[in-house]
Amino acid sequence: MIPNEDATWPELLREPAKGDHFVQLYSDQAFLREAVAEYAGSGLRRGEGVLIVATRAHRAGFIRGLDAQGIATLAAMKRGQLVLLDADDTLTRFTAGGMPDWQSFHALVGGAIASVRLEYPAVRAFGEMVDVLWQRGERDAALRLEEFWNDLAKLQTFSLLCAYRMDHLDAAAYRGPLECICRRHTHLIPARDYQRFNDAVIQASEEVLDYPLAQMLLSLAERHRPETAMPQGQATLLWLQHNMPRTAEKVLAQVRARAAG
């Protein structure tokens, strides 16, 4: 399936394709709750199964978000359509050696998905175990776990939404972490308002560079989009960081200033 580069994140999360592996970057907890409610709620209304692997701090907020959409979450859990697992507890069960173990992960998480799939035509999974590892500084383990999720998707049919607490306008994110994360996902959701973000990047580029040069570089960035589907503004920032890092820092600083204003 060819990614729809123009789709907004609610459109993407309402109708994921089989094998879609989304990653959301957030610094605003409300944005995370909105995304999970959109993704899980639309699945439950369609009669699909949903697996949520979340931290204790987030589970109650996710349930409130689903309840606000009119989802009878307790009834969905009782009939096995909605399954909630604790992210920290689940992690400990397949990372005994410090790194994720495939056999244990496959048996535990794959088993949970397979169980739901027996009763429902499609399964949507949300997981933040990768972010638990990332925030601990265990980044190799987080990326290994992302690869395990992708390996599991080759064996079973489901879509997946991951989330990382990360500022998509933090310059440090562009020095390796963001690119590593993108390579393991089909779609990147970095901001709530795609159009506003795209416009901010275009305007910042035109301020930092002469207009003709800015237009040329924006065109180059558009033609060399990464395989991961993402808003044009995000693709432009990643291209600039890879090809013109000093310019990228100046453009990013302007975008941050606009966001703060």
Which of 183, 140, 144, 152 is CA-nearest to residue 51? 152
Q: What three-state secondary structure class fits 188?
A: strand
Q: What is the C-alpha separation between 32 and 10, in angstroms, rounded?
A: 12
47 to 71, 79, 153, 180: CA distances (angstroms): 11, 12, 21, 34
62 to 34, 39, 58, 173: CA distances (angstroms): 8, 11, 6, 27
H and E: helices and strands count for the chain: 14, 6
Q: 70-75: long-range contacts at Cβ-Cβ below 8 A with a sequence spacing of 24 or more?
A: 71/41, 71/44, 71/45
Q: What is the C-alpha separation between 4 and 11, in angstroms, rounded?
A: 10
Residue with tokens 């305007």: 203
Mind listing the pLDDT tens digit for each residue in 96-133? 888 999 999 999 999 999 999 999 999 999 999 999 99
Q: Are 248 and 237 in contact (CB under 8 A)?
A: yes
Q: What is the C-alpha separation between 244 and 261, in angstroms, rounded?
A: 26
Q: Are 65 and 42 in contact (CB under 8 A)?
A: no
Predicted pLDDT at 86: 97
Predicted pLDDT at 259: 82
**What's the whole-number average pLDDT of the chain?**
94
Mind listing the pLDDT tens digit for each residue in 154-205? 999 999 999 999 999 999 998 889 999 999 999 999 999 999 999 999 999 9
Mind listing the pLDDT tens digit for each residue in 211-220? 888 889 889 8
Q: What is the C-alpha separation between 25 and 190, in angstroms, rounded?
A: 5
What is the dihedral angle through the alpha carbons of 104, 108, 114, 118, rounded to the nearest 10 degrees? 140
Q: What three-state secondary structure class fits 84?
A: strand
Q: Which residues, listed in sequence order, are joined to residue 164 by a DSSP beta bridge?
A: 25
Average pLDDT of span 139-156: 97
Fold of 9-189: Rossmann fold (3.40.50)
What is the residue extent of each domain of the chain?
9-189, 194-260
